[in-house]
Amino acid sequence: MTMKNAAEKDLAGRVALITGGSKGIGKTIALTLARRGADIVICGRGASALETAAEEIRACGSTVHAHPLDATKLEGVRDFFRKVIEPIGRLDILVNNIGGVREVAKFPDLTDDDWYGIFDTNLMTMVRVTREALSYLTKSPYARIINIASVAGKQPGDWNPHYGAVKAAMIHLSKSLSRTLGPEHVRVNAICSSTIKGEGAWKRDVESRMRSGNVSFEEAERVLEAEVRAKAPLGEIGTPADVAELVAFLASNQACFITGTCIEVDGGTVRSIF
């Protein structure tokens, strides 16, 4: 084995759980960690998408466990850990990737149900899964919790204030957990990405603009691309691989002294120095 191949398999022997791992950023993260040698557990709501993703992960030579899960249900999360993680017997890497927002809206148009729903889908899924995972992670010498947040949690915009608020809560909780779990050698970090092309949210954003502007999908996508490029000093649009490679780094031994951080993958979009 060459040194290059050895480095590519630096996560061999570790078990990684990626929530929402059947498509988009989650699937790309799962594939990236699998190529680095990790055994993979993915969950999501769609059984068909899970099986498709599992086949791709197996093609990387990794063991994969793919099981449906609605993480908005507490008993569902507990049952998932009893049936899936307990038989495996260990967990080294947890990537909390479940989240997103369905529709673009401004504050006056958001109902209480919109607020409750987005906190349940984004923050409480992270809370439930992390809580169940701790008994395994605290036994691992390689324990990592990596939470997929958003630049919306650091730099508010004119739309979707409920989404920005919940992502800010995820960043805060990540910092809090890094402090309380530090003595047990569990590293906790957040990743804040800007709009990423190729994930499910990208298509939803395009479709929302298509409906509001009464234009074709192609025209709406051109408008969205122009907006995203204009926000980033690099003038580029991120991809799921940009996020996945950072996850792989944070999961590796090279990131042993990194915890409590929130790292932007945004082409320079966030203007704050903090």
Query: Nearest-CA neighbor of 142 among 254, 66, 49?
Result: 254
Cα–Cα distances in Å, from 254 out to 2, 118, 154, 248?
19, 34, 26, 10
Q: Is 142 a catalytic residue?
A: no
Cα–Cα distances in Å, from 68 out to 44, 54, 222, 266?
5, 12, 34, 31
Q: Exactly one of 116, 136, 142, 163 is catalytic; which is it?
A: 163
Joined tokens for residue 136: 């395994």
Pairing relation of β-strands 187-193 and 144-148?
parallel
**How far apart are alpha carbons 85 and 3 in whole angstroms?**
32
Q: Give the rounded distance of the alpha carbon of 122 from its chain centre.
A: 10
Cβ–Cβ under 8 Å, residues 148 and 123: no
Strand order in the sheet with 64-68: 64-68, 39-44, 15-19, 93-96, 144-148, 187-193, 262-265
Return the active site residues. Answer: 163
